[in-house]
Amino acid sequence: MISNTAIGATSVHTSDLDRDGDYDVLFTTLTNNRVSWAANLGNGLFGAPTVITQLVDWPQNVTTADLDLDGDADVLTASHGDDKIAWYENTENGSGIVGFGPQRVISTDADGAKHVSTADLDGDGDLDVLAASDLDDKIAWYENQGGGNFGLEELISLTEDGARCVEGEDLDRDGDIDLLAAAFHAGTVTWYENLGGSFSAHLISSDALRANDVFAADLDGDGFADVLSASRLDNKVAWYPNTGGCVPPTHFCQTSPNTVGPGALIGNIGSTSHSANDFVLTGSFAPANQTGIFYYGSVSISEPFGEGIRCIGGTTFRLIPVSILPSGRASFALDLNQPPANSPPGEITPGSTWLFQFWYRDPTGGPAGFNFTGGLEVRFCP
Sheet of strand 9-15, all strands in order from the earlier edge strand to the far edge: 9-15, 24-29, 34-38, 50-53
Residue type, 21: G
pLDDT at 168: 98
pLDDT tens over the chain, length 382 residues:
999 889 999 999 999 999 999 999 999 999 999 999 999 999 999 999 999 999 999 999 999 999 999 999 999 999 999 999 999 999 987 777 899 999 999 999 999 999 999 999 999 999 999 999 999 999 999 999 998 899 999 999 999 999 999 999 999 888 899 999 999 999 999 999 999 889 999 899 999 999 999 999 999 887 889 999 999 999 999 999 887 767 789 999 999 999 999 999 999 999 898 888 999 999 999 999 999 999 999 999 999 999 999 999 999 999 999 999 999 999 999 999 999 999 999 999 987 899 999 999 999 999 999 999 999 999 888 7
Task: Reduce the secondary structure of 79-103 to three states and give it as a string.
Answer: ECCCCEEEEECECCCCCCCCCECCC
What is each CA distance from 345 to 30, 303, 376, in whole angstroms?
Answer: 54, 24, 20
Residues 57, 34: contact at Cβ < 8 Å?
Answer: no
Handedness of CA 278, 282, 288, 292 (dihedral sign): negative
Terminal Cα-to-Cα distance of the chain (whole angstroms): 46
Q: How far is CA 60 from the centre of its chain?
A: 24
Residues 350, 174: contact at Cβ < 8 Å?
Answer: yes
pTM of the entire predicted model: 0.69
44: exposed, middle or buried (C-beta count within 10 Å: 0-12, 13-18, 19+)?
Answer: exposed
C-alpha 145/C-alpha 122 separation (Å) is 11
What is each CA distance from 210 to 120, 125, 241, in whole angstroms?
Answer: 28, 35, 21
C-alpha 369/C-alpha 322 separation (Å) is 17
pLDDT at 247: 75
What is each CA distance from 176 to 64, 129, 192, 199, in whole angstroms?
Answer: 21, 15, 12, 11
C-alpha 82/C-alpha 259 separation (Å) is 70
pLDDT at 245: 65
Q: What is the signed CA dihedral for 201, 120, 135, 213, rounded to 10 degrees?
A: 80
